[in-house]
Amino acid sequence: MRLNTVRRYVVNHLVTVLAVLSTVIVIVPLIAILATWFTWSHVVESRLLHQDSCAGGMPGGGMANGIVGSGIVLGSAADGDSGGNCGRCLSC
């Protein structure tokens, strides 16, 4: 009985350390990206964020489709429902 308690204690702390470590590994690049974004935000035009993408080879364009697509993927992942939303369209 005592050995089982020690093993559960060790595994619990090991998993906790791994969870904290994986969180830090994900958060550090996010903070670096946001710091870079705020550093260079005066250079970036606001049209870049809300303008649709242009056809290949044409000047201009924006990131609106990428932002919407990322929102769909994150929303369906946060929802936990793997069915219904295929990520290709809003009407699935």
CA triplet 55, 85, 68: central angle to 5 degrees?
40
In three-state secondary structure terms, 10 is helix
What ranges do the domains of the chain cover? 1-44, 46-92
Asked whether the CA dihedral 67, 75, 18, 23 is positive or negative, the reply is positive
Per-residue model confidence (pLDDT) at position 84:
55
Which residues are CB-neighbours of 85 under 8 A, at least 6 positions away? Answer: 72, 75, 76, 79, 92
| Cα–Cα distance measured from residue 37 to residue 64, given in angstroms and rounded to the nearest whole number | 17
pLDDT of residue 1: 62
Q: What is the per-residue pLDDT for 14?
A: 96
The rounded distance, in Å, linking the Cα atoms of 39 and 21 is 27
Q: Mind listing the pLDDT tens digit of every residue in the chain (92 residues)?
A: 688 899 999 999 999 999 999 989 989 988 888 888 778 767 666 666 667 677 666 666 667 777 777 778 777 766 655 555 555 555 55
